[in-house]
Amino acid sequence: MRVGMDVSPLAVTRAGTARHIRSLLAALEDEDVELRRYSFGGSARALAPVRDVGWYLAALPLEAARDGVQVLHCPTHRAPVSSRVPLVVTFHDLAVLRHPETFNAWTRSYSRLALPRVAKAARRLIAVSEFTRRELIELLDVPEEKVRVIPNAVGPPFVAEGEAASGEYVLAVGTLEPRKNLPRLVEGFRRAGLNGCRLLVAGMRGWGDVDASGDGIHWLGSVPDDELARLYRGARCVAYVSIYEGFGLPVLEAMACGAPVVAGRNEAAEEVAGKAAVLVDPLDPDAIAAGLGEAIDRSEELRALGLERARAFDWASVARATAEVYREAAA
């Protein structure tokens, strides 16, 4: 089967979405799929309107039709609103509709207008969690039969065996943007009184002037996957207290590396982590502080639970299920 995939997000971010796309591309090599990769040529933030309008609404569907691919897959919700080629779109979350105040003005406006049309244009929608499937049905009025749930997965280098970073630290992973709730995490970390432990923040700078500095707090910027795995393995615990998530890939990566996890309590986190993480109210710094202490105290128990939980999420299964969605869309 000839499938076109939009890989434009790889030029824009190195966050969880990019790791999802790279891992999916690698896993699909073992499936009966011939991939044609499409990418918008610019990565600068100022080019976002050109990419969102000129590329997704015009150039991408035209190129896919010209090349004669049987299916066009957009692995994020930025996608055409009309396509002669059967369209598959992956939705990682609908945060931009559920919490528009945590996004910039362009993304809010574009998404409000485009996402309902994207969802209608697609032959099949892939949701990365049951929670995101429910969000699609509620917020975009998507017919249930159109959605397939295919969770994210985890694999090397995010494994428990390997070198661990040294030092005493709590690790937070995520783009510096309002939705990731960093100010409350910082306050909770300070209230936890973890005896000289540092808070390390790994993630690229986003928008909204979110700061990751101060006494005992160190922003690492975006780090390569191998280094991120080292950081996960060495952390006293990993904190991911985002206000809203459709999946929360760092939670899964941290568990696969054997780290105890504190996550913001929401439906997606409960779905991904089960009982293998400490879930806290992300709006309450005292709850975050208590969760950090609990995760460190229960580190051995949570390590065992997390490793067992992470084994259920593998990329080979994701690739097989995704290839089946391609066949459904093309039929």
Q: State both tokens at 187.
A: 């306050």
Give the model confidence (pLDDT) of 121-145 as tens digits. Answer: 999 999 999 999 999 999 999 999 9
170-176 average pLDDT score: 93
Q: Do the Cβ atoms of 268 and 289 come closer than 8 Å?
A: no
Residue % of the chain over a pLDDT of 90 = 83
Task: Report d(CA 217, CA 169) in Å as an integer.
Answer: 9
pLDDT above 80 (res 299): yes
171-192 average pLDDT score: 92
pLDDT above 90 (res 64): yes
The pLDDT assigned to 175 comes to 86
The Cα-based distances of 240 to 103, 216, 249, 255, 256 in angstroms read 19, 18, 10, 12, 15
Instruction: Report the SS3 class of residue 147.
Output: strand
Query: Which residues lie below 8 Å from residue 156, measured CB to CB, with a gap of 6+?
Result: none
Model pTM score: 0.93
User: What domains can you pick out in the chain, each with its CATH number?
Assistant: 2-153+314-330 (3.40.50.2000), 169-310 (3.40.50.2000)
Beginning with the edge strand found earlier in the chain, give each strand of the sheet holding 278-280 in spatial order: 217-221, 198-202, 169-173, 237-240, 261-264, 278-280
